[in-house]
Amino acid sequence: MTPQDQKKRKTAEAAIEYIKDARVIGVGTGSTVNHFIDCLIDFKIDIEGAVSSSEGTTQRLKEAGISVLDLNDVDEIKVYIDGADEVDPHKQLIKGGGGALTREKIIADACSQFVCIVDESKMVDTLGAFPLPIEVIPMSRSYVARQVMSRFGGQPEWRENFITDNGNQIIDIHNLDITDPIALEKAINDIPGVITVGLFAIKPADIILIASDNEIKVM
Ligand code: 5RP
């Protein structure tokens, strides 16, 4: 395991404490979450099932013998565990590097507590060094890109040869200086054709578990 992978494993292990009383959990997407799924097996966690944020996570959960539940059949998701691409001091996030941002945002909104698991490399003072993903209806891709560039700056790049689990496309906006993440999230949400922007600022994470070499910091 690389040193970064070891930190991902550590933050994933720390998240186990937060799901102890939950019957149904939400499970995000990405390499850090994959460690969390491994922990569910290693710690023999007994849950009724999990709501999954992507086809990739669904497959891994099933391989781990965990029931995957449809959000429509679930009354309450006690805890949602997911990673992030960037985290600021207000627990606001950029997500969507893995392209699962839409289902991730739905579960993050539907859960009672969102526990975000990251290694220390994800911590930033200001969001925007990581390209901001936007899931769009395919016919609106160029229009949304032009709107974002002319109104907020940055350089949009089409994530070519990538189709989301919802059949849509993604543009990544490079070099944005996101000084007001809530305002930007609202404004991008309002552009016709946008399905989801990967800013999680209106509803940030509740808890961040940050792994460094020596400790887990809880924010
Ligand atoms: C996927 C995501 C992931 O949470 C994010 O990309 C972090 O991934 P990783 O844990 O592999 O660094 O938002 O859409």
Decide: 55 and 163 in contact? Cβ < 8 Å: no
d(Cα 3, Cα 138) in Å, to the nearest integer?
A: 38
Give the mutation target among 27, 32, 124 for probing the ligand 1 site: most ligand atoms within 8 A of CB: 32
Mark residue 170 as left, alpha or beta (left: phi above 0; alpha: psi -120 to 50; beta: remaining). beta
CA 117 to centroid of ligand 1, rounded, Å? 10
Token pair 């809880």 in the structure block, residue: 218
Decide: 50 and 68 in contact? Cβ < 8 Å: yes
Q: What does the block give as tokens for 157?
A: 């790049």
Residue 55 a catalytic site member = no
Buried b / exposed e along 160-182 (16+ C-beta atoms within 10 A): eeeebbeebbbbbbeebebeebe
Which amino acid is it at 35? H
Q: Is the CB of 159 under 6 A from ligand 1?
A: no
Q: Where are the beta strands (DSSP E) in 41-119?
A: 49-52, 68-69, 77-82, 86-87, 93-94, 111-119
Q: Please report the sign of the dihedral spanned by the C-alpha atoms of residue 52, residue 36, residue 20, residue 87.
A: negative
Q: Mark out the alpha helices in 31-169 (DSSP H runs).
A: 31-42, 55-63, 101-110, 141-152
Q: Is the CB of 97 under 6 A from ligand 1?
A: yes
Contacts of 35 (CB under 8 A, 6+ apart): 5, 8, 9, 11, 12, 13
Q: Is the CB of 131 under 6 A from ligand 1?
A: no
Contacts of 178 (CB under 8 A, 6+ apart): 126, 127, 128, 132, 184, 199
- Whole-number pLDDT of residue 72: 98
Closest atom of ligand 1 to 29 CA is 1
Which amino acid is it at 39? C
Buried b / exposed e along 56-75 (16+ C-beta atoms within 10 A): bbbebbeeeebeebeeeebe
pTM: 0.95
- Whole-number pLDDT of residue 1: 87
Task: Burial-class residue 7 by CB neighbours within 10 Å (0-12, 13-18, 19+).
Answer: buried
d(Cα 117, Cα 100) in Å, to the nearest integer?
A: 16
- Whole-number pLDDT of residue 126: 97
Q: Is the CB of 178 under 6 A from ligand 1?
A: no
Closest atom of ligand 1 to 100 CA is 14
Closest atom of ligand 1 to 99 CA is 14
Per-residue pLDDT of the chain (219 residues; tens, 9 = 90+): 899 999 999 999 999 999 988 999 999 999 999 999 999 999 999 999 999 999 999 999 999 999 999 999 999 999 999 999 999 999 999 999 999 999 999 999 999 999 999 999 999 999 999 999 999 999 999 999 999 999 999 999 999 999 999 999 999 999 998 999 999 999 999 999 999 999 999 999 999 999 999 999 999
